[in-house]
Amino acid sequence: MAIILEKKPAAVKNPARVIIDEKKCKGCDLCVYYCPQETLALSKTIGARGYPVAIVVQDNCTGCQECARVCPDVCIDIFR
């Protein structure tokens, strides 16, 4: 059940917004890993805590909240 199946990102008419608190993110990559839409990626720059931070790279978030639920830094809010 936990195994990530092949991701098939789809276009979204009214994308939700995922807000990453960049002062708390430690760039663990789990939100990127679990996002079925490939909305997120790790930045090339280093954030406040000394790690790359997760950033939004596509405007196709469905608001499924997988990222926010698993985030070990609890630094994600979602608006839909």
Partner 1 sequence: MTTVDAAPAAGKQVFERPHVFVEEGTPWCQGCGYGAWSRIIIEEIERANPAKLVATADIACLEYMHEIIPGDITIALHGRSVSTVRGMKMAQPQALAMAFQGDGGMLNEGLNEVIHAAASGQNILVILGNNGVFGDTGGQYTMGAPLGLRTPTSPGGRDARVNGTSIPLAEMLALLPGAAFVGRISTHDPAYVYRGQRILRKAIEANMAGAGFTFVECLTTCPTGWRMTPVEAVKYHEEVMLKERPVGIIKDWDPATHLAVEPALPKLS
Residues contributing to the site for partner 1 (CB under 8 A): 1-3, 14, 16-17, 19-24, 26-30, 33-34, 51, 63, 65-80
C-beta of 11 vs 59, nearer to partner 1: 59
DSSP-derived pairing of the beta strands 40-46 and 52-56: antiparallel
C-beta of 36 vs 44, nearer to partner 1: 36
Nearest to 34 by CA among 50, 11, 54: 54
C-beta of 37 vs 76, nearer to partner 1: 76
Return the residue matching tokens 């430690």: 26
